[in-house]
C-alpha cells in the first residue's frame, strides 16, 4: 500500500541553524501539507501546497519557514533559523484532492538545543 515517508526520523540541531525536513508524498497525490505537534499539544496546521505554490498557511508559518517541491517526488520544509520553540514533531501529509483523505507520514522529531 502506498505511504507517505519522511526523513530523517529524528533531528537535533542548535538554535539558529537551518534544517530541512524531507517528505515523499504518495505518488499520484496533488495536495501536500505540513503539520506540527509540540509535545503534549494539538496537531497544528502549518501550510498547504498545490500546483507548486502555497495555497494556505497558518500564523505559525512565518518568514523563517519555506516549502518546496524540488522535483517530482520530494516535498520539503525548511526552517531558516531554528528557535527553541520549533522543537516538535513535524508531520507531512498528502491527498489526491483538497477534499480527499489526507495520509500522514510517520513524522520527524525535531529538537532544537
Partner 1 sequence: GEDVEQSLFLSVREGDSSVINCTYTDSSSTYLYWYKQEPGAGLQLLTYIFSNMDMKQDQRLTVLLNKKDKHLSLRIADTQTGDSAIYFCAESGSGNTGKLIFGQGTTLQVKP
Interface with partner 1 by CB under 8 A: which residues?
31, 33, 35, 41-45, 48, 50, 55-56, 58, 91, 93, 95, 97-107
> How does strand 108-112 pair with strand 10-13?
parallel
Residue 1 or 63 having the CB closest to partner 1: 1
Residue 3 or 68 having the CB closest to partner 1: 3
Tell me the three cell numbers of residue 29: 497525490
Asked if 22 and 76 touch (Cβ cutoff 8 Å), the reply is yes
Residue 65 or 103 having the CB closest to partner 1: 103
Degrees to nearest 5, angle at CA 49 with 4 and 57: 115
* CB of residue 65 to partner 1, shortest distance in Å: 15
Residue 75 or 91 having the CB closest to partner 1: 91
* CB of residue 81 to partner 1, shortest distance in Å: 26
In this structure, what DSSP letter does residue 101 have?
Answer: P
Q: How far apart are CA 81 and CA 93, in angstroms?
A: 23
Look up cell 529538537; give the residue: 111
* CB of residue 37 to partner 1, shortest distance in Å: 9
* CB of residue 93 to partner 1, shortest distance in Å: 8
Amino acid at each position: 500500500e502506498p505511504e507517505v515517508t519522511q526523513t530523517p526520523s529524528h533531528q537535533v540541531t542548535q538554535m539558529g541553524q537551518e534544517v530541512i525536513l524531507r517528505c515523499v508524498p504518495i505518488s499520484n497525490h496533488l495536495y501536500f501539507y505540513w503539520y506540527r505537534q509540540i509535545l503534549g499539544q494539538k496537531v497544528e496546521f502549518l501550510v498547504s501546497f498545490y500546483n507548486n505554490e502555497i495555497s494556505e498557511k497558518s500564523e505559525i508559518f512565518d518568514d523563517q519557514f519555506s516549502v518546496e517541491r524540488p522535483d517530482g517526488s520530494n516535498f520539503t520544509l525548511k526552517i531558516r533559523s531554528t528557535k527553541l520553540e520549533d522543537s516538535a514533531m513535524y508531520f507531512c501529509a498528502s491527498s489526491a484532492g483538497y477534499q480527499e483523505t489526507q495520509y500522514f507520514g510517520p513524522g520527524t522529531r525535531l529538537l532544537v538545543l
